[in-house]
Amino acid sequence: TMFGMVHRWMGGINGGLAMGSVIVCTMMGAMVGIVGAGVMTMAVVALPPMLERKYDKHLALGTVMAGGALGTVIPPSVSMIIYASVTKVSVGKMFAGGIIPGVILATLYIIYIGIRGLLNPKAAPALPPEERGTLWHKIVDTRHVILPIILILSVLGSIFAGAATPTEAAAVGCVGAVVCAIVYRKFSWKMLRDALFYTTKLFGLFMWIIIGATYFSQFYLCMGAGNLVKDTVLAANVPPLLIVVFMQLSLIVLGALMDDYAVILLAAPLYGPVIVALGYDPIWFGILFILNMQMAVLTPPYGFALF
């Protein structure tokens, strides 16, 4: 597995398992595009080994939750797709704009874990020599990342090349995931059934949220709330950058109280026109918006990743 590969390559340094978990979360985010899948998978795969090796539980849990939340920022993020559809901006440009922030966040997480490991080795101990494996074992384990990388490139490449819409690229990803399972000899009808059941359950949950938020947002837009907000902001003698900062603060508060998809459907139709009227790049603001949604899934009391 991918985690087994990073387990061998990075386990020999303090915090190596946690760093490897962030790397795997980043790759998973580029394959699935949602927070729940990354957090749940790493909670099963990565969290027990870290706790068994006496990692600080706060560091271990924080790594899994923050790493899993990278799926909000890293394409093909579902949050980006919803934001783009609401604000009528390019999905491809949103995806392209999310790559660098996602990589920067993952890198900062790894640096933080490394510093914690250096300052307090007991909080993130290295693996004993017998668990690290030889160089040959590490090279052999690298084969586990070949198919996931091909899957990531096929999904994102088809979108960036204009060969597929996000929906069609999702179908490419599903087929690729099944092929990976067959190649690794992990495929079974029970696995396929469970995957379909989980997907349907998750889709149904999000659709009710989206339906409610959509009706609410369309209601207040039809009542003229969008134009009222834009005209009020433009009439106020306030520096544009201060308005952007206020928007970010309001998104942090909203994100702590409701689902990130609901926040997008409620706030994006109001904030999008204002940002364009202020002369800012809507893609730039869209990435800021999504970064706030990544914080939202980690912020109590709602914090989806916490549960």
Percent of the chain scoring above 70 in pLDDT: 96
Question: Of 126, 159, 187, which one is at a domain's C-terminal end?
Answer: 187
More confident residue, 124 or 6: 124
- The pLDDT score that the predictor gives to residue 281 is 93
Same domain, 203 and 300: yes
- The pLDDT score that the predictor gives to residue 292 is 92
Same domain, 156 and 291: no
Please report, for residues 9, 130, 153, 302, 304, the alpha-carbon distance to residue 27 in angstroms, rounded to integers and kept in the order given. 16, 27, 11, 26, 20
Distance CA 165, CA 267 (A): 25
Question: Of 187, 213, 235, which one is at a domain's C-terminal end?
Answer: 187
Q: What is the pLDDT of residues 242-286, one digit of tens each?
A: 999 999 999 999 988 888 888 898 889 889 888 988 889 999 999
Q: Report whether 216 contacts 209 (CB < 8 A).
A: no
Which domain, by its residues, includes 72? 2-187
Same domain, 182 and 203: no
**pLDDT above 70 for 1:** no
**pLDDT above 90 for 107:** yes
Same domain, 63 and 157: yes
Average pLDDT, the chain: 83
Distance CA 164, CA 179 (A): 19
| Residue 291: pLDDT band with limits 50, 70, 90 | very high
Question: Of 187, 211, 246, which one is at a domain's C-terminal end?
Answer: 187
Q: What is the pLDDT of residues 229-244, one digit of tens each?
A: 777 877 777 888 999 9
- Peptide bond between residue 129 and the one before it cis (omega within 30 degrees of 0): no
Q: What is the pLDDT of residues 39-88, one digit of tens each?
A: 888 888 888 888 888 888 999 899 999 988 898 999 888 889 889 888 88
Same domain, 122 and 139: yes
Q: Which residues of 62-86 are buried (b: 16+ CB within 10 A; e: fewer)?
A: bbbbbbbbbbbbbbbbbbbbbbbeb
Same domain, 195 and 172: no
Same domain, 124 and 204: no
Same domain, 197 and 292: yes
Same domain, 143 and 201: no
Q: What is the pLDDT of residues 138-178, one digit of tens each?
A: 777 777 778 888 888 888 888 777 777 877 887 888 888 88
Q: Which residues of 92-117 are buried (b: 16+ CB within 10 A; e: fewer)?
A: bbbbbbbeebbeebbeebbebbbebb
Q: Which residues of 149-181 are buried (b: 16+ CB within 10 A; e: fewer)?
A: eebbeebbebbbeeebebeebbebbeebbeebb
- The pLDDT score that the predictor gives to residue 286 is 94
Same domain, 180 and 195: no
Same domain, 150 and 290: no
Same domain, 247 and 261: yes
- The pLDDT score that the predictor gives to residue 132 is 66
Distance CA 1, CA 49 (A): 14
Nearest-CA neighbor of 24 among 11, 41, 12?
A: 41
Domains of the chain: total? 2
Distance CA 256, CA 89 (A): 26
Other Cβ atoms less than 10 A from the Cβ of 42: the count is 22
Q: Report whether 283 contacts 246 (CB < 8 A).
A: no
